[in-house]
A and B are shown apart, each in its own frame.
Chain A
Amino acid sequence: MFRHQSTTGRVVSQLLVVVLLLVLMLPLLLVVRESLKGEGWRNYVEVVADTPFVRFFLNSLVIAGSTVAVVTAVAMAAAYGMVVLRAAFGRTSQLAIVAGLALPGMALTVPLFVTVQRLGLFDSPIAVILPLSGLAVPFGVLVARNYLTGIPGEIHEAARLDGAGAWQLFARIVVPLARPIMAVIVIFTFLAAWNEYFLPLLFLQEHSAQVVTQIPGYFQSERHIDLPKVFAANLLISLPIVALYLVFQRQVRAGFLAGAIK
């Protein structure tokens, strides 16, 4: 965007970038160094070899993937309904949905437990996917709604004049234009679902159904913590999210007009 910078501007921005890189990198290097203490890179090997790593990884993938699919679809639809279709009860619904951000997780434990028990959902991935989706939807609706508001209304009108129905308008115009914000929703919903620790622990009693956040626990108990391996495990399970970010960042960087032109 700022292709032509004055010399001062260039120096200042360069300086800031260097400082920020240092501030970000130094603690991260300490984290990596801690993960290599003791047995070095073998720590990482043991994290994979001494735990049901692959199994839990796949379970996490199923849960996080499903949650992302549900949240992205539901949030985009809701934002579309509010902004473009100017749906009835839009304002009340918006308030109700945003209010869903409010309750702290630990106050949800018991009511969710009771619900899951009544519905007989124990041990089913759905018992985790639905609560995770419910918790992530407010974020999705909030950002998607804001993004759609930023798209000039003329685009929708133009499409409507072409005789497009609500569904066509959504699928052909709105979704392609909203790809940058959908990327944001995908990244953060995946992050939240992938990093969720407590809900799977509570609702998936069958051990083989557990997820990656249980992996670091293999290296600690009440009075013993193998810190290097705990760190190695945590870093290892964070990698997929960074990878996902790298992939979806390209959508954001391309900007929304890229969606329109495609």
Chain B
Amino acid sequence: MTTPSQLTRAADGPGPARARPAGEPARARRRHDRRARLAGFLWLLPALVLVVGVVHVGIVYNAVISTTDWNGIAPTRNPVGLDNYTAILSDDVFLAALRNTAVYAVAVTVLQLGAGLAVAVLVRTQARGRNLLRVLIFVPVVLSPAIIGTTARYLLDQDGALNGLLRAAGLGDLVRPWLADSSFALATLVVITVWQYTGYSFVIYDAAISQVDPATLEAAQIDGAGNLRMFTSVVLPHLRGAHLVLIVLTAISSLKTFDLVMLTTAGGPGTSTELLTLHIYEQTILRFHAGYGAALSLVLVAIALVFAVLQVRLSRLREV
């Protein structure tokens, strides 16, 4: 049986490198390995079946629909080849949506990761209120888009509480209808999103930091490392995987943002906050172009896939 002390020791340092039973013939071991790896596949099968059954089937379905002119309702649909895809290239609203989505996704990802990590560090300092912070940071995550969207509209309106605060602070020049000003609306949506979902990245960073062995930290401290150096040399290197996971999760969920924008700006003013998902909704549901909407969905899938591939590549790299 493994004892705690053994584990701690193993976790501590380099330890004996991958001991193998001596004398075992290499070929037999390889055969055994292959069989073990095939058996290992059974462990991933349930996850694979679920995801393929639910999502991949949907992707294939959309791919099929995207080559037709289906309106989403009629029993008939005519094949149109790749027309829907070529039409995307000359769709001005799509191009605006693509640009907005890219800006939004990048900004949200960067800010949300930074803020989440900062909070995960702050709750480990001696500051008063850190435990309250731990709780409050998560509360916005659980609130429904209906609440966040409606509150944001009121709070950020011309006569809303934020502008009231600005006026009171003598910053009247900054007062503006934050979500109704086409130069600020997208940035405001980024801020709302980061406000709501920093708790998300916090929880993941929190879990990752909890994996850092306290003994290692203590050793560093005894060596006279300051907090900053301890953070940069012990904690940060451990967080590479967490960054990767969060970049993928945050970027992809930003690509899929819909409710918040629908409830606050509906893509306006003009096309200043039009996102790909809003465009898909409009085309598929409101304008009855299910075929075109499916093509747009596949474009979104393709963009998300880039992140997925990146994550898989980089995470493999990390293990080697």
Q: Per the CB under 8 Å rule, do A and B touch in the complex? A: yes
User: A: which residues have CB within 8 A of B?
Assistant: 1-6, 9-10, 13-14, 16-18, 20-21, 23-28, 30-31, 34, 70, 73-75, 77-78, 80-82, 85-91, 93-108, 110-112, 114-115, 130-131, 133-135, 137-143, 145-147, 149-155, 157-159, 161-162, 166, 173, 180-181, 183-184, 187-188, 191, 195, 213, 216, 227, 230-231, 234-235, 238, 241-242, 245-246, 249, 252-257, 260-261
- With a cutoff of 8 Å between Cβ atoms, the chain B residues found around residue A4 in the complex are 221, 227
Is there an interface contact between B125 and A234, defined as CB atoms closer than 8 Å? Answer: no
Is there an interface contact between A101 and B41, defined as CB atoms closer than 8 Å? Answer: no
Stretch at the interface among B87-95, B167-175, B276-284: B276-284
CB distance from A3 to the nearest CB of B (A): 7
> Which B208-223 residues have a C-beta within 8 angstroms of A?
208-214, 217, 221
**In the complex the two chains form, what is the Cα distance from A24 to B126 in whole Å?**
20
B97 at the binding interface (Cβ < 8 Å)? no
Is there an interface contact between B309 and A95, defined as CB atoms closer than 8 Å? Answer: yes
- The DSSP consensus for interface residues of chain A is helix
A17-B127 contact given A24-B136, A246-B135, CB 8 Å threshold:
yes
- With a cutoff of 8 Å between Cβ atoms, the chain A residues found around residue B151 in the complex are 27, 30-31, 34
B241 at the binding interface (Cβ < 8 Å)? yes
CB distance from A23 to the nearest CB of B (A): 7
Is there an interface contact between A161 and B19, defined as CB atoms closer than 8 Å? Answer: yes
CB distance from A215 to the nearest CB of B (A): 11
What are 27 A-B contacts with C-beta separation under 8 Å? A1-B214, A2-B230, A18-B129, A21-B136, A26-B161, A81-B40, A81-B44, A87-B42, A95-B312, A96-B48, A99-B308, A104-B280, A106-B277, A107-B58, A130-B54, A133-B50, A137-B51, A142-B311, A153-B18, A155-B10, A191-B142, A231-B150, A238-B139, A242-B135, A242-B142, A255-B210, A260-B4
Is there an interface contact between B1 and A112, defined as CB atoms closer than 8 Å? Answer: no
**In the complex the two chains form, what is the Cα distance from A74 to B141 in whole Å?**
24
- With a cutoff of 8 Å between Cβ atoms, the chain B residues found around residue A74 in the complex are 46-47, 50
- With a cutoff of 8 Å between Cβ atoms, the chain B residues found around residue A257 in the complex are 7-8, 11, 213-214
A252-B51 contact given A104-B258, A155-B7, CB 8 Å threshold:
no
User: A90 touches which one: B44, B150, B203 (CB < 8 A)?
Assistant: B44
B256 at the binding interface (Cβ < 8 Å)? yes
**In the complex the two chains form, what is the Cα distance from A143 to B241 in whole Å?**
9
Closest 8 CB pairs of A and B: A134-B54, A81-B43, A87-B40, A85-B40, A102-B304, A78-B47, A107-B297, A111-B61
Residue of B nearest to A159 (CB): B2
CB distance from A211 to the nearest CB of B (A): 13
